Structure 1
Amino acid sequence: MSAKRVVALIPAYNEAKYIAATVTALAALPEVDEIVVVDDASTDRTAELAAAAGARVISLPANSGKGAALNKGSDQIKANIVMLLDGDLGDSAKEARLLLEPVLTGLADMTVAHFPPPRRKGGFGLVKGLARKGIKFYTGLEMQSPLSGQRVMTRPVMDKLLPFASGYGVEVGLTIKAARAGFKVLEVPVQMTHAETGRDLKGFWHRGRQFCHIARALARAALVK
C-alpha cells in the first residue's frame, strides 16, 4: 500500500457491461486503497455489479451527469491522490498505474491518459479540435488527448478544481483550471480502451452534444481569469 492514500473515483451510468472488470482491474493495483463508484441513477445493474466487485457505491437519486457525479463523490472520499476514471475501461483500467506513478513521485500534479488511435472511425475531429484549440488558447498547453477522462491528481489539485463543470465540458474545464492555477499537467501514453461511438446517428448526436458542452466550458473560461 502506498504511504499516500489513493482513491479511484468512477462516475458511472449504465455501465453494467464493463464496471465489474474495471473495478477488478483497479483492485489489483497495490497502490489503490479504495474504489468508489458514483452510480448516476443507472437503470441497469451497474451499482450491484460494482459493489460485488469490491467498490464502495454512492447512488444518486436522479441522473445528474458526469460533473455532478464527480462533485458528489469528491465530497465523500478521503485521499491524498485521486484517480478519475470512466466505468467502461474494463481490464484496461490496470493501465491507470502509469498515470499514478508521476503523481506519486512528484513529477506532475495531474496526469492525463493519452489513448492510442481509435479502433474504428468516429467523428471528423471537430470536437477534439475545438477542445485542443481552446485549451491552447487559454493555457498554452498542447494536448493530444484533451477529452480524456482518465486522470490522476493530488487532492490539492482536486480541491482547487471543484466544482467540476457539468456535461461533457468537464475535462476541458478542469484542464484549463489546473493549468491556470500553476499545476503541472502531464499527458501519459497508455493502452487503455473504452466503448467508442461510431459514425451513426447515435454517434453524431453524442458528438454534437459534446461540441456544445465544450463550447460552453470555453465560454465560461473567458469570464474567469
Structure 2
Amino acid sequence: MPAYNAAQTLRSTFFAIPSGVADKVLLVDDASSDRTVEVAKELEIQVIEHPHNVGYGGNQKTCYMEALRQGADVVVMLHPDGQYDPKVLGDMVAAIQSGKGDIALGSRFLAPGAARKGGMPWWKFLANRFLTTCENLVLGLHLSEYHTGYRAYSRRFLETVPFLRNSNDFVFDTQILVQAAAFDFAIAEVPVNTKYFSEASSVNFRVSTVYGLKTLAVLGGYLLHRLGLKSRLFKH
C-alpha cells in the first residue's frame, strides 16, 4: 500500500481485503501529515516511513524493493484510499499464478459503463479513453485501460524491468507498463469496481493534464527507442 494521508480510509480498506489472500500487508507512508502511520500500526500492518515526501512513483519503488527483499512471489499494489475494491485482490493474484500474465491490471473499463457508474469525472473518462487508444496503437496491445492504480506484478517482472530508473511522480505507472511491452511481458486484466468520493485520493485537473502530457512523452521516447535512439528505461 503506497500511502499518503490515508488515515480516514485505511481501516475500512484493510478489513475489506479477503482473508487468506495476502501473506503480508506492507504500507509505505510518504510523509503523511495525518494519522496514517498510527492507524496502520494499530492494525498491525508493517510500516515503512519516508522521512520526506518522495512522490507516488518513489513510494512504489520502496514498496516493490521491500516486497522483493522479503521474498514475495506476487506483489499487489492496492491504494489505501478505498477507491478500488479489495475483494478482487484474489483474482489479481490468480491471474498471475495461472500464467495469464506477469502483470494483472484491475480495469475499470472491462464492464461496460462501470467507470462512470463509479463516479469517474467525465474529463478523466475522456482523457483515459484518449491515452489508452494512443498507448494501444504505439505498443501494439489491446488493453481496456492503462491508468488504473490497482496492479499486481510477478517477482520475475519486477526483477527484470529497471523500474528504479522511472520517475518518482505519477507517470511511473505509465513507464512501468511501457517497460512491460518493451520486455515482452504479458499483461492480464481483471474487472474491478471503483468509487470516487471526497476522502479518496484523486489528482486534480492540472496534475492530470501534466500526467497526460508526460504519458505522451513516454510513448514518444519508446518509439524513438524502437527506431534506434535507445532509452535507459527500456533496456537492461
What interval of TM-score do these two structures reach, taking the shorter chain for normalisation? 0.7 to 0.9
Residue 98 of structure 2 is aligned to residue 96 of structure 1: no
Alignment-derived partner of residue 177 in structure 1: 179
User: Within the alignment, does 1:12 sit opposite 2:10 as a pair?
Assistant: no
**Alpha-carbon distance between aligned partners in 1 of 2:222 and 2:168, rounded to the nearest angstrom:** 14
Shift of 1:44: 0.6
Identity %: 22
TM-score, with structure 2 as normaliser: 0.79
Q: Can you give the 5+ residue segments of structure 1 that lack an aligned partner in the other structure?
A: 1-9
Q: Which residue of 1 aligns with 2:58?
A: 68
Give yes or no for contact 1:13–1:40 (8 Å, CA) kept in 2: yes
Residue from 161, 164, 167 that aligns with 1:165: 167
**Cα distance in 1, alignment partners of residues 218 and 82 from structure 2:** 25
Q: Whole-Å Cα distance in 1 between the matches of residues 84 and 178 of structure 2?
A: 30
Distance (Å, rounded) in 1 between the aligned partners of 2:223 and 2:198: 31
Q: Offset at 1:38? A: 0.7
Q: Which runs of 4+ in 1 moved over 4 A?
A: 194-197
Instruction: Say whether 1:217 aligns with 2:218.
Output: yes
**After superposition, what is the alpha-carbon deviation per residue over 1:167-200, rounded to whole angstroms, capped at 9, x for unaligned?**
2212221111112211110111122435479xxx
> 2:92–2:106: 8 Å Cα contact kept in structure 1?
yes
Of residues 35-44 and 67-76 in structure 1, the stretch that sits farther from structure 2 once superposed is 67-76
Instruction: Name the SS for the 2:148 alignment partner.
Output: coil
- In structure 2, list runs of 5 or more residues that go unmatched: 109-113, 227-236
Cα root mean square deviation, aligned: 2.4
**Separation (CA, whole Å) in 2 of partners of 1:91 and 1:64:** 23
**2:9 aligned with 1:24:** no
TM-score (norm: length of structure 1): 0.83
* 1:181 maps to amino acid: F
Q: Aligned pairs, how many?
A: 211
